[in-house]
Every structure is written in C-alpha cells, then in structure tokens.
Amino acid sequence: MSVLAIDPDTKGSGVALMGKRQGSGYVLACGCAYDHGLSAKKKKTALLTWQLEKVQEVILQAWAIAKEEDDPIERVIVEGQQIYSKSRVRPDGLLKLALVSGAAMLAGARIGCPVTLVLPRDWKGQQSKVATWRRVLRWIEWEWFEPKKHHRTDPDRVEFSIPSHVKLLGTIPIKHRKEVLDALALGQWALGHRHKKHE
C-alpha cells in the first residue's frame, strides 16, 4: 500500500506517491502542479483557479499510476495551514493556500481514499526544512548534495536527482523543488518512519 502526500502551494504544489518496503522508502511518482504554459496575464488573473484545477488533475494521475503498479493508495495526506503569532505571512496568502489544500482533499475523497489534513508542527516539529529533506533523501536512497555556495535569496537548498524508474507528475521547475521535497518528507512521516536524533 502507498500514500499520496501533497504540499500545497498557490503556484506549484508538491506531490509524492510513495510506500515503505522492509524499512526503506520507495517512490512511485512525484511532481509538481505547476503553472507551466500560463501567460503573464493569466498568472495575474487566474493563477489560483488554475492551481485548484491542476492539483486535482495531478492527484488523479497519481491514482492511475498506483492502480497500474498494483500499489493502491491507502491514504491521501495534505499539509494544512497554521498561523504563528510572530509570522510575517499575510493572512490573505494563507487563505488562498487553504483553498488549494481543500481542493487536494476533495480530489483525494473523489478517488475513494481516506484524507488526512496535517499541520506543519505535527509532522515536522521543530526540525528545519533542510533536516527533513536530508532524512527523506537518505531514506529513499536518492542521490543528493547541498551546494557549497548558497544563493543569497535561497539559503535553504538541497539538490537531488530523481531516479529514472520514478514517474514524473508534471514539470518540476527548480523554484518548486522545495515543494516536492516537502511532499516526500510528509509522505515519509505518513508512512510511520521515525528517525533517531543522530540520523
């Protein structure tokens, strides 16, 4: 049995279809519901509507892959939104993000799977993004590295290679690889894999 993990984003939601076998993780498919091909005008006026449709489309693609691989989806898990007291995130941005989460949950329900909404603090705790990325990449045994020189606007960065046997769900632009990593880490958590402090 596999799980389908969704990291919602208003411009490119991360998606990972994955499972666990003999203690190690495996990935059937991953990708990003990205705004590829939209004109500049549509990105300003219809991006959110497009993302709501695209995330549902990608979930249906993942469901078809799971069926083809005879590895049915046991659960769809979606990251929810959380307001922190000292956060600089604008409330209207969180509201839009919540709509994407809702669309993902609806798509999960439509394919007949139990759907779970999880808050970041519940699955990630106090771990940094990079720490969760390192752990999941080791667990699924993908090749990865951290660039020695970080971009000043993108200090949290991990480069990784997707094995050829993993099916792609849409395009994965560099700027949205973070969402794919978050989806993989969320899927790892959903599969019950826990790490010791020294890992």
Gap between the Cα atoms of 103 and 16, Å rounded: 16
Terminal CA-CA length for the chain = 26
Strand order, beta sheet including 2-7: 115-118, 73-79, 2-7, 12-21, 24-34, 167-169
Q: Where are the domains of the chain?
A: 2-190
Averaged pLDDT for residues 6-22: 92
105-158 residue pLDDT tens: 999 999 999 999 999 889 988 888 888 999 999 999 999 887 765 554 455 678
- Which tens digits make up the pLDDT trace of 93-113? 888 889 899 999 999 999 999
Amino acid at 42: K
Single-letter amino acid code for the residue at 39: S
pLDDT for 116: 96
- The answer to whether 34 and 15 have CB atoms below 8 angstroms apart is no
Mean pLDDT of all residues in 17-34: 92
Helix (H, G, I), strand (E, B) or coil at 78: strand
CATH number belonging to domain 2-190: 3.30.420.10
Q: In angstroms, rounded to a whole number, what is the distance separating the alpha carbons of residues 34 and 47?
A: 10
pTM of the model: 0.87
Query: In the structure encoding, which two tokens stand for residue 169, read together?
Result: 């769900």
What distance lies between CA 73 and its chain's CA centroid? 15
